[in-house]
Structures are given as C-alpha cells and as structure tokens.
Structure 1
Amino acid sequence: MKVGDLSPRPAAKEPFRRAHMRFVSQKSGCYVLATFEEDILYVGLARNLRRRFGQHLDTPEKVSATANGRAVWFFWLECITLEKVERTWLNSYALIHGVWPVLNNVYSPTAV
C-alpha cells in the first residue's frame, strides 16, 4: 500500500535522516515510515512528532532494511484525534495486505 492511498492523507514529508529532523513538526500527529517508492513500512502516532522521529532513528529495526525495503521517508499529519487516525491507517493497510506493516510487528518505544 502506498502512502497516497491513506485517508486522511499525510500533509507533509521529510527524508528519514537526522539532518532533516529539524523540519519535522513538534506538534502531535500520526506518521508513516515509507520506502523510496512510498510503500508503507510503519504507522504510528506521537504527542511530539520531531521527538518520535529521533527515537526511530535511534532504533536499529527502523533504520535497517526490511524484506519490504528501507525507511527513506517520514510522512505526517498533525491531528488531535491520534488514535482514530492511526487505527484508520492501520486498518486500511490490513484490509489490503491481511497484516499490519512490517515494522509495526517489532518493538518500538511508547509514543510520548
């Protein structure tokens, strides 16, 4: 599934690299880690998107290659209905693929 298939659609994106962390919003929202071709690898939510971006960069599973590719993009949507949007995105992905995105199956720190 491509990021463009999500509803609501993420409003912004940055390369998933530490040098781009400063361009990510510090507001709350939902986000997606995606391959260069914008295939979804991970769906999450955060109270501070920039902080969460940095946490993922420090998580070996999130920066390593997966069977579906490597995370290259960080897409996000600022929102206050975090759980609803995240669940909608995860359910949309699961309806197509029958499972959650590959990186949603590994441990990650709790959103803060």
Structure 2
Amino acid sequence: MLIENLNPKIDITLEFKLSNYKKIPTSFGCYVISNFNFEIMYVGKASSIQLRFLNHLDSQEKLSLTPLGKAYWFSFKNCQNEYEISKLERGWLNSYSLEHGAKPIFNKINASI
C-alpha cells in the first residue's frame, strides 16, 4: 500500500535521516515509514513525533534491508490529542491490513521502546 492511499492524507513527507529531525514537530501525530517507492513499512503514533523519529533512527531493524527495501521516507500527520492519534493509527493500520491481510513489515517487530 502506498502512503498516497491513506485517509486522511499525510501532512508532510521527509527523508528518513537524522538531518531532518528539526523539521519534525514535537506535537502529537501519526506517522508512516516507507521505502523509496512510498510503500508503507510501518505505521505508528506518538505524543512527540520528533522524539519518536529519533527513536526509530536508533533502531537497527528500521535501518536494515527488508524484502521491501530500506526505510527511506518518514511521513506524518499532526493530531490534537491521544484520542485522535489512536483513532488515526488504528484506521491506517486497518486499511493496510484489509489490503494486504497483515500488518506492515516493521509493525511485526516487537519494539523495546
């Protein structure tokens, strides 16, 4: 599934690299990590999108090669509160699961953070 198929739509997409962390807000939000072709590899939510972005950059799993390639894009949508991010994340994950019959590849990893 491509990020362009998510509803509601993504606000901003940046390369998944450390030099972009200051461009990411510290607000609530839902985000997607995708490969170079914008195929979704991970869907997540955060009370601070910027902090979660940095956490993912420290994850060997998120930086390694997968059958879909490597993580290349970090896309996000700002949200107002915890309820909104939970609802949005659940909706995006459900859309992905309906299309693919499973969660995105990185959502299958048991996170230690």
TM-score normalised by the chain length of structure 1: 0.95
Task: Give percent identity, aligned residues only.
Answer: 37
Q: Is the aligned partner of 1:87 residue 2:95?
A: no
SS at match of 2:25: coil
CA deviation map 1:60-90 (0-9, x unaligned): 0011111111110000000130110000000
8 Å Cα contact 1:33-1:43 kept in structure 2? yes
State the Cα distance separating 1:13 from its structure 2 match: 1.1
| TM-fit CA distance, 1:109 | 4.2
Query: 1:55 — aligned with what?
Result: 55
Gaps of 5+ in 1: none
* 1:102 corresponds to 2:105: yes
Alpha carbons 1:59, 1:108 under 8 Å: kept: no
Amino acid at match of 2:69: G
The within-5 A match list for 1:5-16 is 5-16=5-16
TM-score, normalised to structure 2, is: 0.94
Report the 3-state secondary structure (helix = DSSP H, G, I; strand = E; otherwise coil) of the residue aligned with 1:52. Answer: helix
SS in 1 for 2:95: helix
- Count, aligned residues: 110
What are structure 2's unaligned runs of at least 5 residues?
Answer: none
Greater Cα offset, 24-33 or 101-110: 101-110
- Determine the structure 1 residue equivalent to 2:23: 23
| RMSD after superposition | 0.8
